[in-house]
Amino acid sequence: MNASQSLPLLVVASSFVPGLLIFGLAEERHALRSALNIAGAVIKLVIIAVMFGGVAAREHYEYRHTVLPGLDLVLRADALAMLFVTLSAALWLLTTVYAIGYLEGGANRSRFFGFFSLCVTATVGIAMAGNLFTFFLFYEMLTLSTYPLVVHRGTDKALRAGTFYLGYTLAGGAILLVGVVWLYDLLGQVEFVHRGAASSLGPQYTTQLRVIFLLLIIGLGVKAALVPLHGWLPRAMVAPAPVSALLHAVAVVKAGAFGIVRVVYDVFGVEFAQSLRLLVPLAVAACVTILWGSLRALAQDDLKRRLAFSTVSQVSYIVLGVALFGPVGTIGGLAHLVHQGIMKVTMFFCAGNYAETLGVHRVSEMNGIGRRMPLTTAAFSVAAFGMIGLPFTAGYVSKHYLSDGAQLAGQPWAAWVLMASSLLNAAYFLPILYRAWAKVHHPPWPAPAIAARGWRETSVLLLLPPLASGVAVILAAVLADTAWSPLAWAKLIAMREYAAPLR
Amino acid sequence: MPEPEAWLILLPLGWASAAFLLGPARGAWLAAAGLALGLVLAAHVAAHAEAGRVHAVGGWAAPLGIALAVDGLAALMLLLTHTVALPLALYARAYFARHPDGAAWFWPLTGYLVAALDALFLSADLFNLYVTLELLGLAAVGLVASSGSAQGLSAALRYLLVTLLGSSAYLLGVALFYGVYGNVTLPLLALQVAAPVPLAIRLALALMLVGLLLKTALFPFSFWLPPAHGGAPAPVSALLSALVIKATFYLVLRLWMNFGNLLAPAAVAQLLGLLGGAAVLWGSVQALRQARLKMLIAYSTVAQVGYLFLLFPLAARASPATALLAWQGVLMQAVAHGLAKAAMFGAAGAIASAAGHDTIARLGGVAAHLPLNLWAFGLAGVSLMGLPPSAGFLAKWLLLDAAADSGRWAWAALLVGGGLLAAAYVFKVLRHAFIGAQEPGTSFAPVSPMLQWPPFLLAAASLVLGLNAGFVLMLAGAP
C-alpha cells in the first residue's frame, strides 16, 4: 500500500486506535489518556496538512476495500472532503483540550473519551467517504458513538434526551438506507463524482429519482436539523458542553449538512437536480428552517437552548447555499460549513465556561458577566457578531456570498430571508451582549466553582479553546482573500464542481 | 486426513462418548480439542466445496451406501457451526465450573448435537436427514433439561413434544416420498418429481414443511422457543439459538432448492413471508416487553428467524438477479444471527452469573464490572439491528436490494421497521446496563476471562465479517 492509499486510512485510524486504547485504560490514568487524545488529534492534523497540499495540486488519495462484490468501502480525499475533514480535525483538537479541562475529576472519563474518539473517527469517515455506502456506514457509526456522549451524565433528563436522539437519528438512518439501497439498485456502485452519477439515468426514472432524493434528504435532514425533523437537537443540549460543541459544530449536524451537499453535487449533480426541479423545494425547506429556528431562539431563556435553536437556523444556511443554483451560492454555503463550525463551537465553549465557572445557565443570570469573565465574553461577542453577520467576522463573508448567490439565481426572496434572519439573530444575541457588558451584576453568582486568578478568569484549559476559535472567526474574514482561507477553498470546490467537464 | 466429511461426524461422536465415560472435567478438554479439530476440518471442507460434490462413505455409492454431499451451502453451515461451537465450548467450561448442575450431561449431549448438525448438513438423503433431525432434537431437549430445575424440565418437556411432533410429520412425508418413487435420495428425487405432481407428494411436502416450521419456531409455532432458550443454561441457549434452529431452516432451504420451483405455489411463498413478517414484529415487541435479559434475547431469536423466511416471497416469481440477492441476504442473515446471538446469550450468561440475576432494570453497574460482556452484547446488538459495519447490516442491505429490485416495498418497510424495533430492545438493555448506577447493596461476583472473551470475540467476528464477507456469498452460491 503506497502513501496515496494509506493516508486516508491513517486519518481515520489516528482517532480510532487511540479510542480503542482509551477504552482499555483504567479510570485514573489521566495523563496517558490525555496524551493519547492529543497525540491522535495532532497526528490527524499533520496527515491532513500533507494531503491538503496534495489535493490542491490535484493529487489523488484513495483507499479502496471490497466488502462484497460490487460494494466497496472507499475513503477518498477530494477538495470537498478536505474542507470538512480539516474543520473537524482542527475543532476536534480544540474540543479535546476543552473536554480535558471540563471533565477534570468527573466520572467515567475513559468511557467519555473513548466514544469521543469514535465520534470523530466517524466524522472524518463521513468527510472522506468516496461513495454512498461508505458514507452511510460512518453516518450510522456517528449515531451510535454520540449516544453515550449525550446520555453521559446519566440523569433522567439526559436519558430522555438520548432516547429522543436515538429515535430521530435511527429512524432517519433507516429512511436514508432505503434511499441509498434503491439508488445502488438503479446505478450499481454510487461513487461521489462531479456532476453526479444519477444523471446517467434516462427520463423514465424521473419519478423514482425524485422519491429517492426525498428519502435521502429526509434521512440527512434529521441530523442537519431541518424543520420539522429538528426536535432532538434542543433536547440534546443537556449533554456536557464539549459534547454540545461536537454535536452542533463539528460532527452531527455538520454530517447531515455535508451529506446534503454530497447528494446534491456528487450524487445527483447540481444541474441534474435543478432539471428535476428538486432545488427550489430544498431552498424553501432551508428558508423555513432558518426563520423557524431564529423565531424559537428568541423565546429561550436557557442559554444553551437558545444556542441550539440558533444552530437549527444557521446550519440551514449551508443547505440554502447548496440549493441556490449557481456557483456563488455554493461558495457561500460551503464557506458557511466551516464558518458556522468555528462560530458555534466558540459559543458552546463560552456557555460551558459560564456554567462551569459561575453556574450561570440562563440568559437572565448573565447581568454583568462581561466584567467577571471578560475574555470568555469577548470570544462570545465575536461569535455572536459573526452569527448576525457583522463585518470583519466569518459570518459576514458567508452571508455576503449567500445573498449574492440568491440574487444571481433569480431567487431574491431567499436574500430577504437571510436579511430577516440577520435581524432575528441580532434580536436574540444583542440582548445577551447588552446584559453581559452593560448591566450591573448583583451578587452572588448561582454556583461559583472556579475562582479568578489574574487574567485567568477560569481554568486555562477552558479558556484557551474559545479564545483560539474566537480569533479564527475574525481571521476567516480578514484573511478571506488569501489562498488558504475557507472561502478560497470553497471557491476551489465550486470551480471544480461547476466547471468539471462532462463525462 | 482422508474423508474429512466423515470425520466431521465421527469425531464429535467419539469425544462425546469419551466425555460421558471420563466425566465433565476431562470431557471439557476433549470437547475443546475435538471442536478445534472440527473447525480445521470444516475450513478444509469449505475450501474445497463445490456444487454436486458427493462423497460415498467407505466407497459405497448412493442407493446402497450413505452418500455425503458437500456443496457451498453445506460447507457454509459447517463453518458457522464450528466457528460458533469452539468458543462456546471454552465458555461452557468456565460456565459449568460456576454452575456444576448438569455439567456431566453437557459435554456428551453437545457432542451428539454437533455430530447431528454436521451429519444433517452433509446428508443428501431424506431418510438420513430424518435420522439426524431426530438425533439433533433429542440432544437439544436433553441439553435444555440438563440443569434439572423444575422450570427447565417443563420447558424441555414442551420442547420434546414439539420436536417429536415435528420429526414425525417430516417422517410421514419421507414415507410418502418412498411410497411414490421408491427412493429417498434428494438428487434422484429432484429428477423424478415432474409435473403433474401426485397429490401424495404435495401432501408429503406440506407435512415436511409444517414439521420443519414447528422446529424452526416460525411464528406462530414459536410458542415453545422462549421458555426453552430463555430457561436453559447460557451455553445451551447460545447453541440452540445460534445453530439448532438454523439446521431445520437449512432443511427447508434444501426442500425448496430441490422441489420449490415445481411445487410451491406463489401463495405458499407469500404465506411464509407473512409469517416471517409477523414473527419479526411480534418477536420484537415481545422482546421489548420482557423484564429478564435472557427472555428478551430469546424473543429476539423469534424475531430474527422471521427474516429468514423473507427469502420465499422475495425470490418467488422474481428475476434471477432478485432471487440471488434474496438468497444471499438470507444466508448472510443466518450467519450473522448465529454469531451475534451466540455472543449475546454468552454475554447474558456471564452477566447473570456475576450478578446472580438477569432482571434488566437492575443491571446498573455492569459497565464497570463486566465491560467486555457489555461490549459483546452491544456489538452483537449492532448486528441484530442491522447497523453497519456488521454482517447483520450486509444481510439487511442484500434483502433491501432484493426488495428494491423487484419493487416489493412492503418487505423493505418490514426490514427497516424490524431494525428499529431491534434497536429499541437492545438499547433498553444498554440504557440500564451502560448508564444506570449500581443498586446499593448489590455486588458482582468476579468472573473468569473465559466467560468474557469468547462472547466478545464472537460479537467482534459478526462486526468484522461486515467488512469482508465475499467468501460467505461465494459459499452461498445461487439458489
Would you call A284 an interface residue with chain B, using a CB distance cutoff of 8 Å?
no
Query: Burial code of A257-282, b = ≥16 C-beta within 10 A, e = fewer?
Result: bbbbbbbbbbbbbbbbbbebebbeeb
The pLDDT assigned to B394 comes to: 96
B353: nearest Cα among B425, B451, B283: B451
Containing B54, the helix (H) or strand (E) segment is strand B54-56
Which of the residue ranges A77-81, A382-386, B346-350 would you say has the lowest mean pLDDT?
A77-81
Would you call A218 an interface residue with chain B, using a CB distance cutoff of 8 Å?
no
For A144, the closest of B387, B396, B401 (CB atoms) is B387
Residues of B with Cβ-Cβ distance to A166 under 8 angstroms: 423, 427
Contact yes or no for B405 and A185 at CB 8 A: yes
Q: Which residues pair with B164 in a beta bridge?
A: none
- Residue by residue, pLDDT tens for chain B (479 residues) are 468 888 999 999 999 999 999 988 898 999 999 999 999 999 999 988 776 667 776 666 666 667 788 888 999 999 999 999 999 999 999 999 988 888 889 999 999 999 999 999 999 889 999 999 999 999 999 999 987 788 888 999 999 999 999 999 999 999 999 999 988 888 888 888 877 888 899 899 999 999 999 999 999 999 999 999 988 999 999 999 999 999 999 999 999 988 876 666 788 899 999 999 999 999 999 999 999 999 999 999 999 999 999 999 999 888 899 999 999 999 999 999 999 999 999 999 999 999 989 999 999 888 888 999 999 999 999 999 999 999 999 999 999 999 999 999 999 999 999 999 999 999 999 998 887 788 888 888 889 999 999 999 999 999 999 999 999 999 988 87
A79: nearest Cα among A14, A45, A122, A127: A127
Would you call B435 an interface residue with chain A, using a CB distance cutoff of 8 Å?
yes
A483: nearest Cα among A52, A76, A13, A14: A52
The pLDDT assigned to B63 comes to: 60
CA–CA separation, B263 and A365 (whole Å) = 77
Calculated CA dihedral for residues A457, A460, A466, A468, nearest 10 degrees: 120
Contact yes or no for B467 and A73 at CB 8 A: yes
Calculated CA dihedral for residues B7, B8, B13, B19, nearest 10 degrees: 100
The pLDDT assigned to A139 comes to: 96
In chain A, the residue whose alpha carbon lies closest to the alpha carbon of B423 is A170
**SS3 (DSSP) at A68:** strand
Contact yes or no for B394 and A65 at CB 8 A: no
Residue showing cell 482517532: A15
What residue type is assigned to position B15 of the chain? Answer: W
In chain A, the residue whose alpha carbon lies closest to the alpha carbon of B398 is A181
Return residues 89-148 of A near B (CB < 8 Å).
Answer: 111, 136-137, 140-141, 143-144, 147-148
Q: What is the ipTM for the molecules in this complex?
A: 0.94
Query: Burial code of A202-226, b = ≥16 C-beta within 10 A, e = fewer?
Result: eeeeeebbeebbbbbbbbbbbbbbb
B374: nearest Cα among B345, B347, B343: B347
Residues of B with Cβ-Cβ distance to A148 under 8 angstroms: 434-435
**SS3 (DSSP) at A191:** strand
Residues of A with Cβ-Cβ distance to B416 under 8 angstroms: 174-175, 177-178
Residues of B with Cβ-Cβ distance to A111 under 8 angstroms: 367
Contact yes or no for B420 and A71 at CB 8 A: no
Burial class (CB in 10 A: 0-12, 13-18, 19+), B464: middle
In chain A, the residue whose alpha carbon lies closest to the alpha carbon of B436 is A154
In chain A, the residue whose alpha carbon lies closest to the alpha carbon of B393 is A137
Average pLDDT, chain A: 91
Neighbours of B105 (CB within 10 A): 18
Contact yes or no for B437 and A69 at CB 8 A: no
The pLDDT assigned to A148 comes to: 92
Instruction: For chain B, report the end-to-end CA distance as a whole number of angstroms.
Output: 31
Contact yes or no for B416 and A177 at CB 8 A: yes
Residues of A with Cβ-Cβ distance to B470 under 8 angstroms: 66-69
Please check the confidence at residue A335 and state whether its pLDDT lies above 70: yes
Would you call B329 an interface residue with chain A, using a CB distance cutoff of 8 Å?
no
Which of the residue ranges A32-36, A499-503, B380-384 would you say has the lowest mean pLDDT?
A499-503
Residues of A with Cβ-Cβ distance to B401 under 8 angstroms: 181, 184-185
What's the whole-number mean pLDDT along residues A205-221? 95
Q: How many alpha carbons fall within 13 Å on the CB side of residue A199?
A: 20
CA–CA separation, A249 and A364 (whole Å) = 25
For B389, the closest of A137, A151, A174 (CB atoms) is A137
Please tell me what DSSP assigns to residue B101: T
Name the pLDDT band for A378 (thresholds 50, 70, 90).
very high
**Grid coordinates representing B341?**
446471538
In chain B, the residue whose alpha carbon lies closest to the alpha carbon of A142 is B388
**SS3 (DSSP) at A324:** coil
Q: Which residues pair with B54 in a beta bridge?
A: B69
What size, in residues, is chain A? Answer: 503
The pLDDT assigned to B312 comes to: 92
- What does the pLDDT look like over B319-358, one tens digit per residue? 899 999 999 999 999 999 999 999 999 999 999 999 989 9
Would you call A178 an interface residue with chain B, using a CB distance cutoff of 8 Å?
yes
Contact yes or no for A181 and B466 at CB 8 A: no
What size, in residues, is chain B? Answer: 479
Please check the confidence at residue A275 and state whether its pLDDT lies above 80: yes
CA–CA separation, B118 and B33 (whole Å) = 17
Query: Burial code of B209-221, b = ≥16 C-beta within 10 A, e = fewer?
Result: bbbbbbbbbbbeb
A378 vs A500: which has the higher pLDDT: A378
Pairing of strands A71-77, B54-56: unpaired
Residues of A with Cβ-Cβ distance to B389 under 8 angstroms: 67, 137, 141
The pLDDT assigned to A501 comes to: 44
